[in-house]
Amino acid sequence: MEIIVGKLSGFCQGVKNTIKKAEEVLDKKDNVYCLGQIVHNERVIKDLEDKGLTIVNSLDEVKDNSTIIIRAHGAEKDIYDEIDRRKLDLLDLTCGKVKAVRIKADKEKDNHFIVIIGKKNHPESLGVKSFAGDNSIIIEELEDIDELMKNDFNSLYILSQTTFNEEKFDLIVNEIKSRTNKQVIVDKTICNATSDRQNEVGELSKNVDMMIIVGGKNSSNTKELEVIAKDNCKNTYLVQNYLDLEKVSFKNIKKIGIMGGASTPHIVVEEIINYINNQ
């Protein structure tokens, strides 16, 4: 049985930076909190919790005079305002690519109606929208365009969640353009690492008997990889670790493709390879 691991499998640069800086502050300080999961991967979170990190869902859970980490996905504007008001020690680990989208939304909101194409409930999309203000909307599906068209606008400025599906982004943009004669400015802010990984999964999944996507099941970029792989290889599995493969049959499988999401440690992929080789 041949196993092919995607060349772009595993941590993206943004996640590497986030984990490195989180570990550095945990070595120096106590009472370190993170608002939400620092990255969408259970293994990474457990490792950081073992080093002293406390994950919270609200700033109400954070003690005064503590350090608060803003995770790679960023946060909404009022969160930053509250941190400033309470004079908490802030370590903002928002991915640079996400920050760039946020800055663009804030800059263009007075000139255009802002459209954020992304997952409606994803922290990144919600964070960008909070900087865009009321003159904005998040669009996840084609049917959401109906709600956009109810707004009065002279021009649209379209941005993307950095980990959104590139093909779906293009589909939504084309539909928006077909339904308005107003100016439409498209700023495709999908991260290069995301689009490159999606392209590699698309090609790899065409040439294997089985695809295994490795990552957190609440990870947006991982879910998109699963969708793309399934388009070409129906025999596709999204797993968090090798235990999720216990009920999977490898009978008559000659070639397997593996791709780790942007928050997936390489050791998890290695454990999966070892498990398959022992079947």
Catalytic residues: 124
Closest CA to 53 of 69, 77, 75: 69
Sign of CA dihedral 272, 273, 274, 279: positive
Question: What's the DSSP call for residue 168?
Answer: H
H/E segment holding residue 223? helix 220-232
Decide: helix, strand or coil at residue 124. helix
Q: Which two tokens stand for residue 88?
A: 């908490």
CA–CA separation, 279 vs 267, rounded Å? 19
Tokens of 6: 């995607």
Query: How far apart are the C-alpha atoms of 196 and 177, rounded to whole Å?
Result: 26
